[in-house]
Structure 1
C-alpha cells in the first residue's frame, strides 16, 4: 500500500513557488521519460510574473548616475500611452569590454500582471552632467591616437588644439566637454594637419 501511495503521489506535480504556467510541453496521455535521459523536455514552465526583472545595459558615460534604489521610468510598445516604474536592485559593478556598458537589473512590480516576460522596454534613463558641454558639428572634432580635440582660433588669429571628450551624437552633431567658453571661435573642419600656431582668419558662421 505504501508503495502504491508513493507512486500515486507522483501524479501530482507541485511547483516550488507561486506562478503562472507559461509553457506546456506535454498533455494527457503523453509518454514521459526521466529527466536525466537525452531528449527529455520539461512538462511545464512556471514563471513568477508578479515581480519582473528589467535588464539594462548602461553606457559607460552614464554609470555615474546609477544608484541602488533609484526609480526609473520605462514604456513598452504594447502600451504606448502608459509609463511604468522600476527600481534599481542590482548592478554588475563592471563594464563589458566589448560594448563598454554596465549591466543593471531593475525590479518591476507587476501585481496587475499587465506586463509579460520577454517584452522589450524603452527606458527613460536619468542622466547627470558633471560639466557644462557644447553641441557642435561632428566635422569640427578631430582625433588622433592620443587625443580628441577641436581647433580654437585665438584673438591673434593663431590656432590651438583644445582637448575635449565626446558625449552623445545625433544628426551630424556631437556633444563635447572641455575647457571651452561661450563665444570661442573654432575651426569649421578640424584636422591634425592644422598645427597649433597656424594663422587663420575667423568668421562667424551663419545658419
Structure 2
C-alpha cells in the first residue's frame, strides 16, 4: 500500500465520508430507505469526503531526523575541511568517506517503506547513523584537536587514524544493513521479466 493511500485512509476527509456512508447504512437498517441504500451510502460518503475538513498542513519547522543528520554531517565535514591542515595526512579524506557513506545510508533510510521488516529495523539503523554523526566522529576529532601541546603528535595521529578506521568499518556495516530500494526493485523487475519471458 502506497504512502498516499495510507495517508488518505487516515485523513479527516475519509473519516467524514465513512460517517456519511454509515449514516446511509443506518437509514437502511431503520427502514427509511430500501434497496437503493448502497447508492445512498456511496453518495453520503462522497458528500462527507467533499465537505469534511482537510488535514492540517505539516509543521514547516518540523525536520525529519534524517534531514537533521544530513545537515549536521555537512557541518562536520565543512569543519574538517577547514581544519584539514591541523589533521594528520589522510584523516580529512577518511572523514569525507565516512560522511559520504552516512549520507548514502540516510538516503536509503528515507526510501525504506515497502517491507515491514525493513521499517521495523529502520529506527535502529537511524540511531546508529545518529551516533556516528553526533558522538563518534566529533569525539575522535575533538580528542585529537584538543590534545595538550606537549602530547607527541605521531602517537596522537596514529590513534586518530585507528579511531576513524573503526568508525569507517561501522558505517560500512550500516550501509550494508540498510536495503537499497532501487537495486531491490531492479532485481524484482528482472525476476518478473524472466518469469514472463520464460513462460511457454
Asked if TM exceeds 0.5, the reply is no
TM-score, length of structure 2 as denominator length: 0.25
Q: So what's the TM-score if we normalise by structure 1?
A: 0.25
Structure ranking higher in strand proportion? 1
By percentage of residues, which structure has more helix? 2
